[in-house]
Structure 1
Amino acid sequence: MFTSVNSRAAAAYKRVAAETSVQGADPHQLVGLLFDALLQSIAAARGAMSRDDAGAKGAALGKAVRIIEEGLKAGLNLQQGGDLAANLHQLYSYSVLRLTQANLRNDPKALEEVTLLIEPLAQSWKQIKGPGPAYLPPVAGRGV
């Protein structure tokens, strides 16, 4: 099966735009991008679930879990972040549990629950300037 030139060009543009935004982002912006990608992955999983597309649902939820585990959760500084970092760690762990249950049980309510937990956090993050002590500085070579 072949894709149109326009589809390939759009996909290439999207990929380059994403790479450029990540490369030019400061640590605060990177966390914001992780939140955006997480919410997009959950929305994609919801759509796949409604279409009974198990493969797309699993891929989207796998990406969402990786964003949480390898991006948001791994970036927490539990030693210096105090209660804030500990609470975020618990929230992220719970979100991973609910996303896993959503995948296993085909449960859109679990997806909605995680969205309702993450959206206010993402919005609040975008309203503050710069990372607080809850997050580690970026490490060269570490990525999501």
Structure 2
Amino acid sequence: MSLHNPYQTYQDNSVFTATPGELTLMLYNGCLKYIGLAKQSIQEKDIEKKHVNISKAQNIINELMVTLNMDYQISKEMRLLYDFINRKLIEANVKNDDLALKEAEGLVIEFRDTWKEVIRLNRAKQFKNGGIA
């Protein structure tokens, strides 16, 4: 008999019902979560935990990279920035470099905050035009 986990059901439903924009926001937030855990692990000198969390952050950045539509110039520029973030994550992982991790985190925060604003503006525009936000 398996136990019903309401939190997991909520999480699953959040992902399955999210718009593509909301999914991207979830990826940014997840990346920031893992970077934060990696920073904490560096301070605690827990090398294994640091590696696991940086790897998870890298996986998210890689997912963001492969979903870019390269038909647009902005996507080419974003790919370069994601690549930079990925290199900073590698540097942080290899050298236990908290500063490299903070640089990566700063860029992801900027992307996340910008993406949140895009979603907000899009919803406001849909609402103004009589659509469902």
Shorter chain as denominator, the TM-score bin is 0.7 to 0.9
Give the gaps of 5 or more residues in structure 2.
123-133
| Superposed CA offset, 1:70-104 (max 9, x none) | x211110011x22x111110000011111001010
Distance in structure 2 (CA, Å) of the matches to 1:15 and 1:39: 20
Could you tell me the TM-score, scaled by structure 1's length?
Answer: 0.76
- In structure 1, what residue type is equivalent to 2:96? N
Matching residue of 2:67? 75
**Larger helix fraction of residues:** 2
Q: 1:91 to 1:127 in 2, by over 3 A?
A: same
Matching residue of 1:42? 35
**Would you say 1:127 and 2:117 are equivalent positions?**
yes
- In structure 1, what residue type is equivalent to 2:64? L
Q: Greater CA deviation, 13-22 or 115-124?
A: 13-22
Q: 1:72 to 1:107 in 2, by over 3 A?
A: same
What secondary structure does 2:67 align onto? coil
Give the gaps of 5 or more residues in structure 1.
1-8, 131-144
Could you tell me the TM-score, scaled by structure 2's length?
Answer: 0.82
- What RMSD over aligned residues (CA atoms) do the two structures have, in Å? 1.5
Distance in structure 1 (CA, Å) of the matches to 2:87 and 2:8: 30
Count of aligned positions: 117
Identical positions, percent: 26
- In structure 1, what residue type is equivalent to 2:87? L
- In structure 1, what residue type is equivalent to 2:53? A
- In structure 2, what residue type is equivalent to 1:119? I
**Would you say 1:104 and 2:94 are equivalent positions?**
yes
Match of 2:51 among 58, 71, 78: 58
Matching residue of 2:129? none
> Max radius of gyration: which structure?
2
Matching residue of 1:4? none
**Which protein has greater RCO, CA pairs closer than 8 Å, 6+ apart?**
1
